[in-house]
Amino acid sequence: MTFNDAMRLFVRHLVTEKLRSGETVRAYVADLQGFSEYLSESGKPNELNNIQKIDQFHVRGFLAKGFGRLKKTSVGRKLAALRTFFRFLVREKVLAVNPAAAVKAPKTEKPLPKALTADEMDRFFVRNSETNKRDIAIFELLYSSGLRVGELTTLKIQDLDLSDGWVRVIGKGNKERYVPVGSRAVEALNEYLPTRAMLEAKARSASEKDALFLNSRGGQLSSRSVARILKTQVVCAGLAKNVSPHSFRHSFATHMLYGGADLRSIQELLGHASLSTTQRYTKADLAKLMEVYDRAHPRSGVRDEKPPMSEKSTRKKQASDIASGGLPLPKKE
């Protein structure tokens, strides 16, 4: 079997069996095409014509090409794509072993989620209060419910229950969850719906008519459009930060944690399959607590401690404070 034949078989598996999203499939295809180009540029036509000739050294060579040029996370993602691809071929008995299984991924440190502070979030909404009603509804819903931008753009009008303050979300792996919608988001969505009705009249298909957020032509709003709109509004709000739609999701989780919500509840709201993913936010919470501790605790070792004053110096300071009205006069014994 050729490499291209194997890739087509794998893509069909992702779409029909795994029900992966279009973006996920495109990411796999891009990584596999990159591996195919590496084999072609390296003068290895036999491996392209017969996938059974590919071994771990081809995989190592492909990844080594990215070191120094790509981030470690990108290299790790490419390896993960190849592992999944070859694992599928082993399951289909196209290959006897997975050539990527023995290749180790580069060690990476997971960065803490980047979140806006509550004050920055308030400033964002105050400065953009005159923004058009659709965009305000998008921002309020992202922050109110902690949605992924892909989940937001695929929402249908029938997924909303504004009377009870809920939204039905289809997350990763086609998993369904119900998430509360805050009062400000409900208000913003109610104000947007008349505008949406006018945009819906321009829609050309049934799927576009059902989409909650529509563009000016009546089509379903894309994730890229949301990111572009947000970038403009961040500048208008004067926030000197690189803010993405995912920053709103991180802010939602971090502020919920600060407010006393437990990890299990946050996991449920975010739609995380594993609690370990949600636990990243405890690191952000601990970092904030350490900052407060270092600033406030006398034995934190961070604050500059002044040496104790001598008895003579103490008397002088008390006299000065009394003269300036800062302390009461001492009582006569």
How many whole angstroms separate alpha carbon 53 and alpha carbon 59? 12
Query: What does the pLDDT average to over 247-258?
Result: 88
Is pLDDT above 60 for 200? yes
**Given this model, what pLDDT does residue 20 score?**
87
pLDDT given at position 269: 87
- Please answer whether residues 171 and 268 qualify as being in contact, where contact means their C-beta atoms are separated by less than 8 angstroms: no
Known catalytic residue: 148? yes
Model pLDDT for residues 123-153, shown as the tens digit of each residue: 898 887 777 899 999 999 999 999 999 999 9
- Ordered by where they begin, the domains of the chain are 3-91 (1.10.150), 118-291 (1.10.443.10)
pLDDT (mean) for 42-61: 85
Q: For this structure, is 246 an active site residue?
A: yes
pLDDT for the residue 60: 92
19: left (phi over 0), alpha (psi -120 to 50) or beta: left
What would the pLDDT profile of 78-99 be if each residue is shown by its tens digit? 999 999 999 999 999 999 999 9
Can you give the pLDDT at residue 175? 87
Spot the catalytic one: 246, 258, 280, 288.
Answer: 246
Distance CA 314, CA 125 (A): 51
Compare 80 and 259 and report the one with higher pLDDT.
80
Q: Work out the mean pLDDT of the chain and round it to a whole number.
A: 83
- Give me the pLDDT at residue 221, please: 93
Q: Are 148 and 248 in contact (CB under 8 A)?
A: no
Is residue 58 flagged as an active site residue?
no
Strand partners, 161: 166
What does the pLDDT read at residue 277?
A: 73
* 321 vs 36, higher pLDDT: 36
pLDDT, residue 278, reads 74
Check pLDDT > 90 for residue 154. Answer: yes
168 belongs to the catalytic site: no
Is the per-residue pLDDT at 59 higher than 60? yes
Which pLDDT score is estimated for 44? Answer: 74
Which one from 83, 123, 172, 209 is the annotated catalytic residue? 172
pLDDT of residue 223: 93
Give the pLDDT score at 161: 93
pLDDT tens per residue, range 157-170: 999 999 999 999 99
Considering only CA atoms, which of 292, 20, 287, 277 is closest in space to residue 146?
A: 277
Residues 11 and 87: their CA atoms lie apart, in Å, by: 13
The more confidently predicted of residues 209 and 11 is: 11
Q: Is 317 a catalytic residue?
A: no
β-bridge mates for residue 169, sequence order = 177
pLDDT single digits (tens) 203-243: 888 778 899 999 999 999 999 999 999 998 988 888 867 88
User: Is 303 considered catalytic here?
Assistant: no
Rounded to 5°, the CA angle 137-124-288 comes to 115
Helical packing angle, 22-41 and 56-66, nearest 10°: 100
Residue-wise pLDDT for 180-193, tens only, equals 999 999 999 999 99
Is the per-residue pLDDT at 307 higher than 80? no
Task: State the catalytic residue, choosing from 134, 148, 196, 255.
Answer: 148
Confidence (pTM):
0.60
